[in-house]
Structure 1
């Protein structure tokens, strides 16, 4: 029997929007993205919305979560089978603040079935084609699909099955915070850069923004379309 890809199952877009913006000065998740001026976190959601059945945004601060709702993320819609369908969007605080992105992953996995397409909330150039490739590389023979660039794994641009949750929770209980701290307990499929580069030649999809300079560079590129 052929392995069942997660493209045949429910995929949730899980946006890890925790952390802080000390190097940015302002809350980077609410920075206006050209040309429409929508907040960065909503821009991230819209880039990948067609790939998911629902969206879960995890913030480590309830005030940030409230701000996400206020900016209208809940009104995102997509066209599905020729019909405009309201997408279920949830924004919720971290179950365990201080757990970093790993805590955010646990918070999201507890609230979904199937798979989580997991990305950081500060990645303005996410490629739907690249993420679709990751989805297609998943099946029942693995629990996570993680890109690797020049020997560096990209755990916040990856796919995780809910089957990872027990291992994630054990890692958190042990005081571990690294995103790869549970990988020795699950089946991780590493994806090399070459097939991803065919879809995104500059691999810009993996870019995040942490400083005003990085944001200005990203904004200039986004303004060019």
Structure 2
């Protein structure tokens, strides 16, 4: 992850949401708990997000899963040579949210996370996305602020995106109406799209949805 421009600038402007409430049907086991370098992927992602985010909400779906994730994170301490460790100082800024619209998929998780954060933009990441592109996040934030947009995202990619907390209210209305499709819901918001400009930015959209994808990732 590039630090060009200084992490602190982003850390002062962004909070974060890690969406981890899915059922992982295609993987066959909880993607957030996949082993990556001896740590659960959840821990790796929180460590990376902490570099650009202040408060981070793990949108866990339900209270049982939130408790499982808290337990999984226990014991991970700072390690200056291992990217993705989760020091106590990071965990102090991590909270867990449960869906207010149970069983309604990732849109409900996004709504739950946005509803827990103070006013402003949040970086949204899926728990199956093992890479983070800081340069792309910077460009998204600049584009979102310039357009006063509700959301900034790569075309056809709803996550590894930025969303303003003011979107929680209209997303809640859509959930009330039975609209659970993320991309369809985002069409109702003021959006700005940002095209990836480098391979590093494109790699941010690798996801570990299947055992085969996970195997390929571990072999790299």
User: For the superposition of Structure 1 and Structure 2, which TM-score range results when normalised by the shorter chain?
Assistant: 0.7 to 0.9
Structure 1: tracts of 5 or more residues without a match = 1-5
Structure 1 partner of 2:4: none
Structure 2 partner of 1:68: 69
Answering whether residue 100 of structure 2 is matched by residue 95 of structure 1, we say: yes
Secondary structure of the residue aligned to 2:149 is: coil
Stretches of 4+ aligned residues off by more than 4 angstroms: 6-9, 73-79
1:142 to 149, 157, 161: 149
2:125 to 119, 131, 144: 119
Shift in alpha-carbon separation, 1:52–1:8, aligned structure 2, 3 A:
closer
Structure 2 partner of 1:45: 46
Question: 1-side partners of 2:141 and 2:108: how far apart?
Answer: 23
Shift in alpha-carbon separation, 1:106–1:19, aligned structure 2, 3 A:
same
1:110 to 107, 115, 139: 115
Answering whether residue 37 of structure 2 is matched by residue 31 of structure 1, we say: no
Question: 1-side partners of 2:183 and 2:45: how far apart?
Answer: 23
Structure number with the higher strand fraction is 1
Following superposition, the deviation at residue 163 of structure 1 comes to 1.5
Structure 2 partner of 1:3: none
Q: How many residues align?
A: 202
Shift in alpha-carbon separation, 1:9–1:74, aligned structure 2, 3 A:
farther
Following superposition, the deviation at residue 75 of structure 1 comes to 6.3
Secondary structure of the residue aligned to 2:32 is: helix
Structure 2: tracts of 5 or more residues without a match = 1-8, 81-86
Instruction: Write out per-residue CA displacement over residues 31-54 of structure 1, whole angstroms, 9 at most, x where no aligned residue.
Output: 1102xx110111112222111011
Answering whether residue 196 of structure 2 is matched by residue 206 of structure 1, we say: no
Question: 1-side partners of 2:13 and 2:79: how far apart?
Answer: 16
Question: 2-side partners of 1:69 and 1:19: how far apart?
Answer: 17
Instruction: Write out per-residue CA displacement over residues 71-98 of structure 1, whole angstroms, 9 at most, x where no aligned residue.
Output: 226967799xxxx982310123222221
Taking structure 1 as the reference length, the TM-score comes to: 0.80
Taking structure 2 as the reference length, the TM-score comes to: 0.82
- Give the superposed CA RMSD: 2.6
2:89 to 67, 86, 89: 86
